[in-house]
Chain A
Amino acid sequence: MATDPDMAMVLVVSALLVIGSLFSVLAALGVLRFPDLYTRMHAASKAGTIGSGLLLLAAGIHAMDIAILLRALAGFAFFLLTAPLSAHLLAKAAHQAGYRLTNLSVTDQMPQPSPQKSRSL
């Protein structure tokens, strides 16, 4: 059974699909459960990237077409380039707007914007 190449590929694709979906679900759950924007970005940027990457890879392998696989890999590469950027921008904008860290936080070494500046934002 495992020697059958088709069967082996089906198993690999299924495993990728299940693990990828699991990461995506956990990323969504993380966005729901974490207490503030900064911690939520952790879930969205890491588990989300891996989840969608594995799903893209599964789609690419399943197609059995090198062009589609390359396109899926290119999609993953663009994901790796853009996910940290959006997380970074959201966190930066929230901090500039004066959005506080959750009460659980132990330290904030980043200077807060002055009150006048944050009002004008």
Chain B
Amino acid sequence: MTFLMVNVLLMLTWAAVSGSFTIPNLLLGLAVGALSLCLVREQFAAARHRVNPVKLLVLTAVFFKELSLSAIKVALLVIRPDMQLRPGIFAFPLTLTRDFEITLLANLITLTPGTLSVDVSEDRKTLYVHALDCHDPAAEKRAISTGFERRIREAFPL
């Protein structure tokens, strides 16, 4: 079921990237998709997740809003004569446990205002985040844990 859905998704991606939605091209995409999924079937079988589609959509919408705000903020900062930077790296305690959730959170953090993921600790309990304005790390941490972290947990319930 999930296998088939991912296969169809890969086929549509292939058709979009190769820019042709003809039947032979779709069949080729389906075949190549099935072949690639066979190659990674062991990792894939271990990674079945429940998804809340509405919350996932909300997460996507919030992400695009934050991305635009973030680009505008950086752009405005760049043209200021005195940039008034107070950068620093703070440690963010992770409550998400699964690898794909941590990856997703790290990517979202990098694309949102003033923050950039630098590293995850070996035990996967801490995310090191670089912030352009780090005079109040507690506020930044709170914003991440009540924002993206909560939304990711809602979109992918255990």
Residues of A participating in the B interface, judged by any CB pair closer than 8 Å: 22-23, 26-27, 29-30, 33-36, 38-39, 41-43, 45-47, 49-51, 67-68, 70-71, 73-74, 80-81, 83-85, 87-88, 91-92, 95, 101-102, 104-110
Contact = CB atoms under 8 A, between A and B. Distances in A.
A110 B128 contact: yes
Contact of A110 (B70, B87, B119): B119
Interface of B: 13, 16-17, 19-21, 67-68, 70-71, 74-75, 77-79, 83, 85-91, 106-107, 110-111, 114, 116-119, 128, 130, 132, 134-135, 137
B152 to A, nearest CB: 15
Contacts of B106: 84, 88
A38 B130 contact: yes
Chain B facing A: main interface SS: mixed
A71 B78 contact: no
Contacts of B71: 23, 46-47, 49-51
Contacts of B86: 104-106
A38 B116 CA distance: 8
A35 B84 CA distance: 11
Given A26-B75, A50-B67, A88-B110, A67 B118 contact: no
Given A39-B85, A106-B88, A109-B90, A88 B116 contact: yes
A46 B118 contact: no
Nearest to B84: A104
Contact of B132 (A42, A51, A84, A92): A42
B88 A68 contact: no
Chain A facing B: main interface SS: helix
Nearest to A66: B21
B85 A35 contact: yes
Contacts of A88: 106, 110, 116-119
Contacts of B90: 107, 109
Which residue of A33, A71, A105 has the most chain B CB atoms within 10 A of its CB atom? Answer: A105
